[in-house]
Amino acid sequence: MTKRSDGGGVSLVDVLLAVVLGAGAIWSAWMWPDRRELDPLGVAFLCAASLTLAWRRVRPGAVLLASFVLTVPYHAREYLHESAATLALVALGTYAAYIRRAQAIVVGGLTLIVVLVAMTLGGEDPPTWRERGGMAGWVVAALIAGQAWRSHRDYVGAIIDRAERAERTRDEVARRRVAEERLRIARDLHDLLAHSITLIGVQAGVAAHLAAQEPPPERTVLEGALDTIAETCRSARHELRATLSVLRDTEESAPYEAVPGLAGLDGLVPLTSAARSAGIAVTLTGHDGPPPAPEVGVAVYRIVQEALTNVVKHARARVVEVELRRAAGELWLTVIDDGRGTMNTEGPGFGILGMAERARSVGGTLKAGPGASGGFTVTAVLPMTRRGTE
The predicted structure's pLDDT at residue 261: 46
Q: For 230, how many CA atoms within 13 A lie in the half-sphere containing its CB?
A: 6
Residues 195-199: contacts with CB within 8 Å, 24+ apart? Answer: 195/305, 195/306, 195/308, 195/309, 196/232, 196/233, 196/235, 196/236, 198/309, 198/312, 198/313, 199/228, 199/229, 199/232, 199/274, 199/275, 199/277, 199/278, 199/312
SS3 category, 330: strand
Ramachandran bin of 130, using left for φ above 0, alpha for ψ from -120 to 50, beta for the remaining angles:
alpha
pLDDT in tens, 7-18: 557 788 888 888
The predicted structure's pLDDT at residue 309: 83
The predicted structure's pLDDT at residue 381: 95
The predicted structure's pLDDT at residue 106: 83
Contact 143, 96 (CB under 8 A): yes
Burial class, 48, CB count within 10 angstroms (exposed 0-12 / middle 13-18 / buried 19+): middle
The predicted structure's pLDDT at residue 258: 44
Closest CA to 188 of 247, 234, 135, 229: 247
The predicted structure's pLDDT at residue 223: 65
The predicted structure's pLDDT at residue 237: 65
pLDDT in tens, 40-53: 888 888 888 888 88
Per-residue pLDDT of the chain (390 residues; tens, 9 = 90+): 455 545 557 788 888 888 888 888 888 888 887 677 888 888 888 888 888 888 888 888 888 888 888 887 777 777 777 788 888 888 888 888 887 778 878 877 887 777 766 666 655 566 667 767 777 777 788 888 888 888 888 888 889 889 888 888 888 888 888 777 767 666 666 666 666 666 676 666 666 666 666 565 566 666 666 777 767 676 766 666 666 665 555 444 444 444 444 567 888 888 888 788 777 899 999 988 888 988 899 889 989 988 888 888 777 788 999 999 999 889 999 999 988 776 554 444 567 888 898 899 889 999 998 888 788 999 999 999 876 444
Q: What is the pTM of this model?
A: 0.44
Angle between helices 81-96 and 40-51 (to 10 degrees): 10
Rg for the chain, CA atoms, rounded: 43
The predicted structure's pLDDT at residue 285: 92
